[in-house]
Structure 1
């Protein structure tokens, strides 16, 4: 398994950033490749994803530690992915959003296509950075 960690500082209070992460139905607005997303019973989420020219349905279990401002998720089938978002206040109107992703490069390549090896790792890093920047724009514009 490989682990990727990235962060972005957003110009909103921690409560606003936290609430935005919990609106699964808005994930298509800031997560590349997510065409549709919805919350399901039992702390689950369903995402329709298109990546590498392939459409897939992804089910995930989502849990949070609200007191710690950590939202964790993991897929319940293929591809096997897991991650978290943790939020830390910088001051009253700024928040650091830390994203962590655990993945097997071979599985991601088989499932979604794309390059091998180091090129794939770079592509995933760029995607996560881009998603965080899109989240920043989304939350700061108050959509």
Structure 2
């Protein structure tokens, strides 16, 4: 398993960022490749994604450790992927969002048609950074 970690500081209170991460319908606005997302109960989300130009569906199980401000997610169908979003208050109006993405490079190549090796890791890292930038824009605009 490979792991990537990135963080970004957003100009909103922790509760605002936390609420955005839990609104499935907002995922297409900040997660590249997610075409549609809908909640299936309190802890499950169905995603329609673009996997290397091919439509694919997956279900994500979400587990909250709300006392620690950590949201963990794991696919239960589709490609085997997992990660966490951890929120850390900087002050009353600013929050650090830390994203951790866990993946098997072979799974990414097979499911998404991505390049191999270092190029693949670099592409995933750029994608994670881009997703966090889009999340920042979204939460700060909706404020």
Q: Could you state the TM-score of these two structures normalised by the residue count of structure 1?
A: 0.97
Asked whether the 8 Å contact 2:88–2:97 carries over to 1, the reply is: yes
Name the structure 1 match of 2:59: 59
> How many aligned residue pairs are there?
143
- Distance of aligned partners of 1:26 and 1:42 in 2 relative to their CA distance in 1, 3 Å threshold: closer
Between 77-86 and 91-100, report the one with greater CA deviation.
Answer: 77-86
How many angstroms apart in 1 are the aligned matches of 2:89 and 2:37? 27
Name the structure 2 match of 1:45: 45
What's the RMSD between the two structures over aligned residues? 1.0
Per-residue deviation at 1:86? 0.3
Per-residue deviation at 1:43? 1.3
Name the structure 2 match of 1:111: 111
Unaligned runs of 5+ in 1: none
Unaligned runs of 5+ in 2: none
1:70 paired to 2:75: no
- Distance of aligned partners of 1:42 and 1:91 in 2 relative to their CA distance in 1, 3 Å threshold: closer
Name the structure 1 match of 2:130: 130
1:91 paired to 2:91: yes
Per-residue deviation at 1:42? 5.3
Q: Could you state the TM-score of these two structures normalised by the residue count of structure 2?
A: 0.97
Q: Which SS does the other structure have where 2:73 is aligned?
A: strand
Q: Which SS does the other structure have where 2:142 is aligned?
A: coil
User: Which 4+ stretches in 1 moved above 6 angstroms?
Assistant: none
Name the structure 2 match of 1:139: 139
